[in-house]
Copies of this chain bind each other. A is one copy, B any other.
Amino acid sequence: MVCGLKVLISNDDSYLSPGLYILYESVKDLYEVLIISTQYPKSATGREITFNKPLRLYKTKYLGYEVFVTDGSPIDALHLAVNVLGFKPDLLLSGVNVGENLSLQHIFYSGTVGLAIEAALMGIPAIAISADVYEFSDFNDPLIKNLISGFLRGLLINVEKLGFPEGVDVLTINIPRADVYRNCYKVTKAARLRWRARYRVDRDVRERLCYWLQGDPRLSEADTDVYIFENEKCVTITPITVDLNAKPETLRQVERLVGYSGR
Contact = CB atoms under 8 A, between A and B. Distances in A.
Interface stretch (A21-29, A134-142, A186-194): A186-194
A260 B154 CA distance: 10
A47 B47 contact: yes
A202 B47 CA distance: 25
Interface in A54-111: 54-57, 76, 79-80, 82-84, 104-105, 107-109
- How many identical subunits does the complex contain? 2
A153 B248 CA distance: 25
Contacts of A84: 199, 201, 211
Nearest to A190: B245
Given A199-B80, A199-B84, A242 B55 contact: no
Contacts of A168: 246, 250, 253-254
Of A49, A184, A190, most buried by chain B (CB within 10 Å of CB) is A49
A165 interface: yes
B185 A154 contact: no
Interface in A248-263: 248, 250-251, 253-263
B244 A184 contact: no
A251 B208 CA distance: 51
Interface stretch (A1-9, A30-38, A114-122): A114-122
B254 A171 contact: yes
Q: How large is the interface on A (under 10, 10 to 19, 20 to 34, 35 or more residues)?
A: 35 or more
Interface of A: 44-51, 53-57, 76, 79-80, 82-84, 104-105, 107-109, 114, 117-118, 121-122, 154-155, 158-159, 162, 164-169, 171, 183-190, 192-193, 197-199, 201-202, 204, 208-213, 215, 234, 237-248, 250-251, 253-263
Given A84-B199, A186-B262, A238-B245, 15 more contacts: A44-B51, A47-B108, A54-B211, A79-B199, A83-B199, A108-B244, A155-B258, A162-B257, A165-B250, A185-B263, A186-B261, A188-B251, A192-B243, A240-B244, A241-B244
